[in-house]
Structure 1
Amino acid sequence: MPVLENLLAALSSALWGPPLLCALLGTHVFLTFRMRGIQRHIRKAIRFSVTKEAGASGDVSPFAALTTSLAATLGTGNIVGVATAVAAGGPGAIFWMWLSGIFGMATKYTEALLSVKFRVKRGNTMAGGPMYVMENGLHCRPLGCVFAFFTAIAALGVGASVQSNSIATLFHQTFRAPPVLSGFVVALLTGFVILGGIHSISKVCNWLIPAAGALYILSNLFILGIGWRSIPHSIFLILYDAFSGHAAIGGFLGATAKDAVRFGISRGLFSNEAGLGSSPIVDAAAQCKNPVRQALVSSTGVFWDTVVLAALTGIMLVNSGLWQQGLDGGALTSAVFQSVPVVGPAVLAVSLFTFAFATCIGWSYYAEKAVEYLFGAHAIRPYKCLYIAVIFFGGVVSVTAAWNFSDIANALMAIPNLASVLVLSGVAARETRREMRHGGILQR
């Protein structure tokens, strides 16, 4: 097992080196300018997310598509993922995570627009995502197959094992619950939901995500309120360390500016998935006539996920001062919430379980569509059985191995997706310019 963990760590570090980090952040910045600062329409995008478009066709409402997408992103990336970024990259990682979210909204917008534009109808349901963009937009089905394969593999890490592992670890630390029991419960509940398909998944996410998000935001604000006097210093520390790194102090081993960039951007991607190509798969199922409208709705997912929730979590963790004790991601998060006796651990347990469970069911849909693209509808049920089994066993594997596996899978998804988005960015730019003219939805 140590050999495997070392191998995964080395491969993760190699993939998430300067080339990919520059490509990811560079794509975010490039698309921000090419889409003419689409982020400035965030208020309109939020309004579109809660209103239906008359006469639109699709499988689920725009809000259901958004909550399903958020279900897949508002998982451990916002709780444990942010903590692992601080533990490995220091406070400065929060700045790079937040920055990747701001610029990443343009990438998420472009991905979604292309996925809706090039989606197809299979039977009674819509099918879309980067694999269909690569096939119908780039006319390169082999590249679509590569992306779909990595998506199916990545789902077993980021969607299944990491979420189950995080739940099992926290429940063992908080309630002394056996990891096997936690894994069994999560697997059972996930199986019950995902066997019902996209409609079952979206119904659960419609009420689960708003409730869980509100609870988590309130708990963060409460903890920040306790130590409100040191908030300005914590924000200054985050900004300063983003460019200078942080020296060793207490149990913290120290981090360079390079570490802050690497872990901030990689955990930012894990948190909001902008550039990964996953959430456009469910965007393609949304009821819409105008690709730009649904793309705007999709971009709000990055806003809520990283610009708001992940940033709030990061400030809370740094403000606690506990990151200096050398704790890893899960232990650091647990220690911060335990600073509020009785209520804190319970709120963390409920929030993490809810978010992680939602991520399990959200990612199952991405994987389902990827498997369908590769092998046809008959392969979906066997894959779901495998997915549920991985959730169960994910509760007992090493947390380090689970996170490294997820980072590797995410990188292998991001590479072909970024390439296709950049090549077809002109198509998205033309659609956007059309809606910026008089009478378009961006001018109403």
Structure 2
Amino acid sequence: MDLMSIIQSINSVLWGPIMLVLLLGTGVLFTIKLRFIQIRRIKDVLKEPFKGNKGVQADEEGMSSFQALATAIAAQVGTGNLAGVATAIAAGGPGAVFWMWISGLFGMGTIFAEAVISQVHTEKVNGQVTGGPAYYIKKGLGSNFLAAFFAVAIVLALGFMGNMVQSNSIAQAINGVFEISTLSVGVLIAVIVGLIIIGGIKRIAVFTSNIVPVMAIFYFIGSIAILFLNYEQIIPAFQMIIHAAFDPVAATGGVIGVSVKEAFRYGIARGLFSNEAGMGSTPHAHAVAKVKHPAQQGLVGIFGVLFDTGIACTMTALVIIITGVYETGLYGIELTQQGFVEGLGSFGGYFIAISMFFFALSTIISWYFFAEANVRYLLGSRFIRVFQVMVLICIVYGTTMDAEIVWELADTFNGLMIIPNLIALVGMFSLVIKILNDYENKFEKDEPSEFEK
């Protein structure tokens, strides 16, 4: 058995039904115990990201709530929204989109828990506030082993392998449309990334808070243009998504030959992979947000999942379904690209290439930031420059290689880092409830609060 087969066998177990049940089950648990906070507090979810940010600058003490959200969304809204949604539809049919929505709904409960716990358990490393699962696993769960295990896994998964496949995605998209060599694209990406990350948390926060709104607007304009030109197909598309979730054969006429089981499996898996709820990545951003109460950042975290799964993923799905390309047999980013070509003509290819560039670039920056927090946890600040150079080398090298095995390895370490994170979340379950009760019963009523900063 070769290395690739071994890794794929490991991933089939890691990302099999047990992992999906654990991820979804954690979301269901928190959703119920938090009394469906994502629904009953939806007005606050929509308002909180844009409150209290005026005059808040990113520095060693952290960043504004909006900058933290933008950094989290930069990681969430990436190639998963372009290629991941297409993969879910190709493998699970249009009904997979419904199950992506379900994963997003319950993932909001998980992300709330991750955000509030990360807010409580932060540390200063050489004068800079930092946090994330490694810190709350160590301080809240009391396990140095699991904390170190998580930290190593995320440095490998996101800092090295994940960023290699992101740069590879950019290079392939640019090369396919503009015919620029992949190595040249890699060097360009490395230069841009290097100029940003060398400026530390302040420059990263400024970059993500500016680029995320721009790339979102750009992508939405292109998507909405296709929906507007095919407005009569929007309602039938939603009907097909819901119908196909429970009866794929009848909904699609059997053209894609999937079952309810496949629709559920791929929808849940790709949904969770896209919004990253429970994976332990976005808490690194939420940990350093400057808010008065941890629950405020929990509500901001919910907004991130709503934006990613409810809006960005839905836009991509509607384009693929409305243009009918889900029946072509294409897979991944090629399917999404064909949808935009059908909707916008030849310009659609250029549109996806540009979108891929910004989506993946922003993900690289955020994933670097998340990985750096864990390098600080493991080794302190003295190795940060070495780590930065290693990341830039991986970015360039990633554009010149066959990314398949690196994708598989990234999936392996992603799966491994989820396990200690979920253990910590469930283990600190009562703390999450305590924080929410403190917020709703004391902080919001201007009474003395245990967790107010």
Q: CA deviation at 1:5?
A: 3.8
Percent of residue pairs identical: 36
Distance 1:342 1:73, change over 3 A: same
Match of 2:316 in 1: 313
Q: CA deviation at 1:101?
A: 0.8
Alignment of 1:381-420 (within 5 A): 381-420=385-424
Distance 1:55 1:438, change over 3 A: farther
Match of 1:76 in 2: 79
Q: CA deviation at 1:191?
A: 1.6
Code of the residue aligned with 2:190 in structure 1: it is A
Match of 1:370 in 2: 374
Q: CA deviation at 1:186?
A: 1.6
* 1:229 pairs with one of 229, 232, 257: 232
Match of 2:354 in 1: 350
Q: CA deviation at 1:387?
A: 1.5
Question: What CA RMSD, in Å, does the superposition of the two structures yield over aligned residues?
Answer: 2.6
Give structure 1 regions of 4+ aligned residues with deviation exceeding 6 angstroms: 53-57, 249-253
Match of 2:384 in 1: 380
Quick check: 2:156–2:410 contact (8 Å CA) kept in 1? Answer: no
Match of 2:51 in 1: 51
Code of the residue aligned with 2:211 in structure 1: it is L
Secondary structure at the counterpart of residue 263 of structure 2? helix
Q: CA separation in 2, counterparts of 1:386 and 1:342?
A: 38
Code of the residue aligned with 1:379 in structure 2: it is F
2:175 maps to 1:151: no
Match of 2:450 in 1: none
Match of 2:430 in 1: 426
Q: CA separation in 1, counterparts of 2:127 and 2:168?
A: 36
Secondary structure at the counterpart of residue 187 of structure 1? helix
Q: CA separation in 2, counterparts of 1:53 and 1:395?
A: 37
Alignment of 1:272-311 (within 5 A): 272-311=275-314
Q: CA separation in 2, counterparts of 1:357 and 1:290?
A: 31
Code of the residue aligned with 2:366 in structure 1: it is G
Code of the residue aligned with 2:359 in structure 1: it is F
Quick check: 1:159–1:364 contact (8 Å CA) kept in 2? Answer: no
Quick check: 2:108–2:277 contact (8 Å CA) kept in 1? Answer: yes
Q: CA deviation at 1:284?
A: 1.2
Which is further off, 91-100 or 19-28? 91-100
Quick check: 2:119–2:286 contact (8 Å CA) kept in 1? Answer: yes
Quick check: 1:270–1:410 contact (8 Å CA) kept in 2? Answer: no
Alignment of 1:129-278 (within 5 A): 129-156=132-159, 159-245=162-248, 254-278=257-281
Quick check: 2:125–2:376 contact (8 Å CA) kept in 1? Answer: no
Quick check: 2:170–2:356 contact (8 Å CA) kept in 1? Answer: yes
Q: CA deviation at 1:246?
A: 5.1
Superposed CA deviations along residues 320-379 of structure 1, whole A, max 9, x for unmatched, are 211211112111111112221243223222211111100000110100011111122122
Superposed CA deviations along residues 132-153 of structure 1, whole A, max 9, x for unmatched, are 1111111111111111111101
Secondary structure at the counterpart of residue 36 of structure 1? coil
Q: CA separation in 2, counterparts of 1:19 and 1:75?
A: 26
Q: CA separation in 1, counterparts of 2:443 and 2:147?
A: 35
TM-score (norm 2): 0.91
Match of 1:42 in 2: 42
Secondary structure at the counterpart of residue 149 of structure 2? helix
Superposed CA deviations along residues 37-85 of structure 1, whole A, max 9, x for unmatched, are 1102232133221222799993111111111111111111111121122
- Structure 1 unmatched ranges of 5 or more: none
Distance 1:266 1:396, change over 3 A: farther
Quick check: 2:134–2:147 contact (8 Å CA) kept in 1? Answer: yes
Q: CA deviation at 1:3?
A: 4.2
Superposed CA deviations along residues 2-36 of structure 1, whole A, max 9, x for unmatched, are 94444333322221111111111111111001111
Quick check: 1:250–1:326 contact (8 Å CA) kept in 2? Answer: no
Q: Count how many residue pairs are aligned between Structure 1 and Structure 2.
A: 442
Q: CA separation in 2, counterparts of 1:355 and 1:441?
A: 40
Match of 2:451 in 1: none
Q: CA separation in 1, counterparts of 2:210 and 2:291?
A: 22
Q: CA separation in 1, counterparts of 2:338 and 2:180?
A: 18
Distance 1:33 1:144, change over 3 A: same
Secondary structure at the counterpart of residue 383 of structure 2? helix
Q: CA separation in 2, counterparts of 1:213 and 1:296?
A: 20
Quick check: 1:16–1:262 contact (8 Å CA) kept in 2? Answer: no
Match of 1:33 in 2: 32
Secondary structure at the counterpart of residue 177 of structure 1? coil
- Structure 2 unmatched ranges of 5 or more: 448-453
Superposed CA deviations along residues 254-300 of structure 1, whole A, max 9, x for unmatched, are 43333322322222222111101111111111112311111111221
Secondary structure at the counterpart of residue 444 of structure 2? coil
Q: CA deviation at 1:253?
A: 6.2
Q: CA deviation at 1:400?
A: 3.8
